[in-house]
Structure 1
């Protein structure tokens, strides 16, 4: 079974912050999790830290001969 390329961890948020993230995520048609990742990336970029993206796992059946 393939492992996820994402790192899972518990995050405790003030309920008001979580509600604001959910409202923003809903307005932008994203999940709250995706919205938090976007907000973190924007904050890191604003502070001058460049964050790349990890290689996404290949989907589908392996090619013949693999």
Structure 2
């Protein structure tokens, strides 16, 4: 089954971090109610934007928190 055209597949990347860097990142993410993964994406998007390298139409950031129990059907 292919995803709807407005929903792009997310890329998976293996990332190796120093444990102290990961712990600091995880604490920061928790302070902002994000997962460590979402915090990394947020920071990378900000860095790309600040450097003028953010693609013109990146997909939206995932929403914070738990997904809704009854997602609304598209349309």
Q: TM-score, normalised by structure 2?
A: 0.63
18-27 or 3-12, larger mean C-alpha shift: 3-12
Q: Note the residue ranges of structure 2 that are not aligned, 5 or more in a row.
A: 61-71
- Once superposed, what is the RMSD of the aligned Cα atoms? 2.3
Question: Do structure 1's residue 25 and structure 2's residue 29 form an aligned pair?
Answer: yes
**TM-score, normalisation: structure 1:** 0.70
Aligned residues: 59
1:16 deviation in Å? Answer: 1.3
Matched, 1:50 2:26: no
Larger radius of gyration: 1
Point out where structure 1 has 5 or more consecutive residues left out of the alignment: none
